[in-house]
Amino acid sequence: MENNQTTRYLFFTGKGGVGKTSLACATAVEMADSGKTVLLVSTDPASNLEDVLESEVNEK
């Protein structure tokens, strides 16, 4: 096992209203901007990813 492996999955958890969606979106954008492949998944039934990212979010 190499010592320079990176974390493959990140999970943001916590109480409601603490900024999980904002932090997850900011992290996803930063990682994508640095050339990484990113899949952002929300399990929140009241997800507001489109509002936070200011763009359309779909299954693609």
Cβ neighbours around 25 below 10 Å, total: 20
Cβ neighbours around 44 below 10 Å, total: 10
Q: State pLDDT tens for residues 15-55.
A: 888 988 889 999 999 999 999 999 988 887 767 778 878 88
The SS3 assignment for 8 reads coil
pLDDT (0 to 100) of residue 23: 92
Over 80: is that where the pLDDT of 56 sits? yes
Over 70: is that where the pLDDT of 59 sits? no
